Amino acid sequence: MDTVKYQEGRVVHQVEAIDGHSVEIPILKILKQDGSVYENADMPAIEQELATKIYKTLAFHRVLDERMTASQRQGRLSFYMSALGEEAASVGSAAGLDDNDMIMAQYREQGALIFRGFSLENFMNQMFSNEKDLGKGRQMPIHYGSQELNYMTVSSPLGTQIPQAAGYAYGQKLKGNKQCTICYFGEGAASEGDFHAGLNMAAVQRSPVIFFCRNNGYAISTPSSEQFAGNGIASRGVGYGIRTIRVDGNDLLAVLKATQDARHYAIENNKPVIIEAMSYRLGAHSTSDDPSGYRTREEEAKYADHDPILRMKNWMLANKWWDETQEEELFETYRKDVLAAVKVAEVIEKPAIEELITDVYDKAPEHLEQQLADLKEHIKKYPDAYPVTAGRL
Amino acid sequence: MAQMNLLQAINNALEIAMTENESAVCFGEDVGHFGGVFRATSNLQEKFGKDRCFNTPLTEQGIMGFANGLAAQGSVPIAEIQFADYIFPAFDQIVNESAKFRYRSGNEFNVGNLTIRTPYGGGIAGGLYHSQSPEAYFAHTPGLKIVVPRNPYQAKGLLLAAIRDKNPIIFFEPKKLYRASVGEVPEEDYQLPLGKAEVVKNGTDITLLGWGAQMETIEKSAEMAEKQGVSCEIIDLRSILPWDVDTVAASVQKTGRLLINHEAPLTGGFAGEIAATIQDKCFLHLESPISRVCGLDTPFPLAHEKEYMPDELKTFEAIMASVNY
């Protein structure tokens, strides 16, 4: 029986209170920073082909983040968000899924999308909001989405995808196709009402969803110590009756293992799982943020020693699945590719003016058609004021 | 044809929708075995199982977030918000998410299968938290459709159209009429068009426009005016967004006068939007200022419900003032 009508338990006659720390939550670690594996650790299912794909994903991720942050500083791009220092969380978890599982990202999970095979061109077209952007140039850079790759288009308001994931996974369950949904969010978003609503809905309706919290220590400038009291985000899962796993988020093998386990459990039992990946956001929140205003260089240096990509590389080298020549060639190739793709994407035309009124509804209603017609007449009258669209009318 | 009240008509529409499409799922607070606080979902759990008709936890935000996800997945969620007054905790999920899903993704994803049912309006001695008419808040949001039926026949045909429409829809049900309004309703499947107003009665001197439960009020005031020799044309708008400008404008061009009646407060209410559009379309045809008879700019009261309401007397007075302008 899941339902307890009248709580029975150990009876005491003096007040014996418990708090958030009374429930000890273990943390899963498999891989050490030097590339060796903890004794007796349960390894995830991984062979050389998957390991190489994962490592290439991590490498591309870091190059993309470096280059796009630089492009933003050069004024070529309006905005960017890097995931420096926490790449293993999104890549390791995506690698633990089936390609048909749905990914609902917050905004810092480009690693999962790279793993799924989103092309470099697709990344660039979205960031430069040109006419080839799958999202038709409507959202800020980094709001990717792809129906083909089962990656739900990112929405800016925080946490809104958490109850949506509960509903999406419920639909997957009803269809009986043995798929699940993974839903990413940060520890800051876990303060939103949507988090509590979503976890409770998933637990009660028995949705096969993996709630994946990237606890990276900061929500923009707010440290996690000012974000929540109690034992992290994982302890909330316990309260909602949800299977809960805490993992070293910089340990790719541990994240992969936790996700493989979570996926199996979610699908076999039609129940949610929450994974809290402990990490540290080494970079700024976004290109609009400067962490030097709220934390010290000493603090950042301490976490730089936990670089998840270096840790994975050390393991690959120890397995003789990788060498320094391959390393150098790979990074060099990616750097060239990304720069070349920026140059292509930034000169592609903006979406047509007609896209202003498509997709508001399934078909544009008359009042929107009228507004578009009026707007076009206006632009024709003052073409100099609307240089992007005037020449194309 | 059968005699049905408004609740039975809605229940009948839901049953048809769930029978025809096994992806259709009804949920909300108490909608399972109990059939919802007003019994609109009675017997659906027995017929379709607990997977497809179920109680949710008390979380409107959760219900709408869950519904958005379910619709994005391809299922057909028909979510109930127990009272329209309680739709505000879900405001972000509806306004930022449901309404913009298709647009923001470039149609990579959409929640067009979503229908939100919610009882609105006064007349049940419900006071300020069980009587609100929040349609204007949502009418400001591109991407939603908003529908309000006035009787059982309209409710069934419009609800079936709403469930099958490929856009997220808020379907406001006039709860005052749930049991009070009884009429002939075909037992078979039928749909009424969304976005189309209906001319309920032809007339020549003034156009009276409203929706939902206020249509009864408008009809009563028209009868009073007819006795004074005023010929009223009555239009039920039926859809608030998108709304049928052409039908209303054509009527006003004929009658030269327009009165809009709604229960929600006057300031910022949807009547203001209609008035602005119609004076633009019909300026040279207007014989008097467009008149608005609406709720007061106060929270919906308990003791003074009659005083608050834009009732038939207030409407009659406004008709006569317009005609004698």
Share of chain B above pLDDT 70, in %: 100
Of A147, A164, A358, the CB nearest to B68: A164
Tell me how far apart the terminal alpha carbons of chain B are, to the nearest angstrom: 45
Average pLDDT on A126-135 reads 96
Three-state DSSP at B325 gives coil
Closest approach of B245 to chain A, Cα-based (Å): 9
Give A373-385 pLDDT, tens digit per residue. Answer: 999 999 999 999 9
CB contact under 8 A, B104 and A160: no
The answer to whether B84 and B97 have CB atoms below 8 angstroms apart is no
What is the pLDDT at residue A393? 85
Judged against a pLDDT cut of 50, whether residue A228 lies above it is answered with yes
Three-state DSSP at A318 gives helix
Contacts of residue B103, defined as CB under 8 A and 6 or more positions apart, other chains included, come to A138, A359, A360, B142, B143
Contacts of residue A4, defined as CB under 8 A and 6 or more positions apart, other chains included, come to none
Give A344-359 pLDDT, tens digit per residue. Answer: 999 999 999 999 999 9
What is the pLDDT at residue A231? 92
Three-state DSSP at B116 gives strand
CB contact under 8 A, A166 and B57: no
Q: Looking at the complex, does the CB of residue A371 fall below 8 Å from at least one CB of chain B?
A: no
pLDDT band at B113 (very low <50, low <70, confident <90, very high): very high
- Helix locations, chain B, DSSP H: 6-20, 44-48, 60-73, 91-92, 101-104, 135-139, 152-164, 214-227, 245-255, 270-282, 305-308, 312-323
Residues B29, B80, B97, B130: which is the catalytic one? B130
What is the pLDDT at residue A388? 85
Judged against a pLDDT cut of 80, whether residue B202 lies above it is answered with yes
Give A88-103 pLDDT, tens digit per residue. Answer: 999 999 999 999 999 9
The span from the CA of A151 to the CA of A182, in Å, is: 10
Share of chain B above pLDDT 90, in %: 99
ipTM for the predicted complex comes to 0.89
Is B60 catalytic? The answer is: yes
Average pLDDT on B25-45 reads 96
**Which residues of chain B make contact with A113, given a CB cutoff of 8 A?**
none
Average pLDDT of chain B, as a whole number: 97
For residue A162, the 8-state DSSP code is H
pLDDT band at A1 (very low <50, low <70, confident <90, very high): very low
Q: What are phi and psi of B85, to 5 degrees?
A: -60, -25
Judged against a pLDDT cut of 80, whether residue A8 lies above it is answered with no
DSSP one-letter string for A329-386: HHHHHHHHHHHHHHHHHTTSPPPPGGGGTTTSSSS--HHHHHHHHHHHHHHHHSGGG-
β-pairing verdict for B53-55 and B24-28: parallel
The structure tokens listed for B230 are: 């005023």
What is the pLDDT at residue A3? 57
Dihedral angle sign, alpha carbons of residues A310, A314, A319, A323:
positive
Judged against a pLDDT cut of 60, whether residue B141 lies above it is answered with yes
Average pLDDT on B17-32 reads 97
Three-state DSSP at A124 gives helix
Give B228-286 pLDDT, tens digit per residue. Answer: 999 999 999 999 999 999 999 999 999 999 999 999 999 999 999 999 999 999 999 99
Closest approach of B148 to chain A, Cα-based (Å): 19
Among B323, B281, B273, smallest CA distance to B315 is for B323
Q: Quick one: A179 exposed, middle or buried, by C-beta within 10 A (0-12, 13-18, 19+)?
A: buried
Give A43-65 pLDDT, tens digit per residue. Answer: 999 999 999 999 999 999 999 99
Judged against a pLDDT cut of 90, whether residue B93 lies above it is answered with yes
Query: Which residues 116-155 on chain B approach chain A with CB closer than 8 angstroms?
Result: 142-143, 145
Q: Looking at the complex, does the CB of residue B65 fall below 8 Å from at least one CB of chain A?
A: yes
Is B15 catalytic? The answer is: no
Query: Which residues 161-200 on chain A approach chain B with CB closer than 8 angstroms?
Result: 161-172, 174-175, 181, 193-194, 196-198, 200
The span from the CA of B68 to the CA of B62, in Å, is: 10
Average pLDDT on B307-313 reads 95
Alpha carbon separation from A160 to A103, A154, A191, A200, A254 (Å, rounded): 14, 10, 12, 14, 27
**Which residues of chain A make contact with B73, given a CB cutoff of 8 A?**
102, 167-168, 171-172, 175
What is the pLDDT at residue A5? 66
Q: Looking at the complex, does the CB of residue A89 fall below 8 Å from at least one CB of chain B?
A: no
The span from the CA of A292 to the CA of A299, in Å, is: 11
Q: Residue A28 belongs to what H/E stretch?
A: strand A27-28
Which of B22, B56, B59, B73 is most worth mutating to test chain A (most A CB atoms within 10 A of its CB)?
A: B73
The structure tokens listed for B311 are: 């009732």
What is the pLDDT at residue A354? 95
CB contact under 8 A, A201 and B56: yes
The structure tokens listed for A188 are: 């800051």
CB contact under 8 A, B108 and A147: yes
What is the pLDDT at residue A20? 75
Of B77, B93, B107, the CB nearest to A359: B107
The span from the CA of B291 to the CA of B213, in Å, is: 19
DSSP one-letter string for B254-323: HHS-EEEEEEEESTT-HHHHHHHHHHHHHGGG-SS--EEEEE-SSPPPSTTHHHHS--HHHHHHHHHHHH
Q: Looking at the complex, does the CB of residue B109 fall below 8 Å from at least one CB of chain A?
A: yes
The span from the CA of B140 to the CA of B130, in Å, is: 22
Give A304-328 pLDDT, tens digit per residue. Answer: 999 999 999 999 999 999 999 999 9
The span from the CA of A260 to the CA of A263, in Å, is: 5
